[in-house]
Amino acid sequence: MESQLALIEQSLNSRYSLWVREALEELPHNFIITDPTISGHPIVFASPWFLKMSGFSRDQVIGNNGRMFQGPKTNRKTVMEIREAIREERAMQVNLLNYRKDGTPFWMLFQMSPVFSKEDGRVVHFVGVQVPISRNKRLTDDGADVTWNEIVFGSCRREVCSDTLAKLGRVLALDTDTNCRGVETEEPCEASDLEKQSAATAISNIFSVLTHYSESTGRLVCGKRCSLPAAGLINSSLNIPLGRIKQSFVLIDPQLPNLPIVYASDAFLKLTGYDRHEVLGRNWRFLSGVDTDPSVLHQVQESIRVEQACTVCILNYRKDESKFWNLLHLSPVRNATGKIAYFVGVQMEEKCERQDRHGLSPEIRQLGAVGAVKVAVRSSSIGASCSKS
What does pTM read for this prediction? Answer: 0.56
Q: What is the CA radius of gyration of the chain?
A: 25
- Which CATH number covers residue 41? 3.30.450.20
pLDDT in tens, 56-105: 999 999 999 999 999 999 999 999 889 888 877 889 999 999 999 999 99
**One domain, residues 106 and 96:** yes
**One domain, residues 104 and 215:** yes
Residue 228 lies in a domain: no
**One domain, residues 96 and 158:** no
**One domain, residues 158 and 82:** no
pLDDT of residue 8: 76
Residue 25 lies in a domain: yes
**One domain, residues 273 and 285:** yes
**One domain, residues 240 and 272:** yes
**One domain, residues 72 and 119:** yes
Residue 231 lies in a domain: no
Residue 269 lies in a domain: yes
**One domain, residues 47 and 196:** yes
pLDDT of residue 167: 39
**One domain, residues 56 and 109:** yes
Tens of each residue's pLDDT in the chain, 389 residues? 555 567 677 888 888 988 999 999 999 999 999 998 887 889 999 999 999 999 999 999 999 999 999 999 999 999 988 988 887 788 999 999 999 999 999 999 999 999 988 877 788 899 999 999 985 444 344 444 444 333 333 333 333 333 433 333 333 333 333 333 444 444 667 888 999 999 999 999 999 999 999 998 888 998 886 654 444 456 666 777 888 888 999 999 888 877 889 889 989 999 999 988 788 888 888 898 888 898 999 999 899 999 999 999 999 999 998 999 999 999 999 887 888 989 999 999 876 444 445 456 777 778 888 888 888 888 776 554 444 44
Residue 227 lies in a domain: no
Residue 298 lies in a domain: yes
**One domain, residues 174 and 251:** no
Residue 302 lies in a domain: yes
Range of the domain at 35: 2-133+189-222
Residue 229 lies in a domain: no
pLDDT of residue 166: 36
pLDDT in tens, 175-209: 333 333 444 444 667 888 999 999 999 999 999 99
Total count of domains within the chain = 3
**One domain, residues 318 and 384:** yes
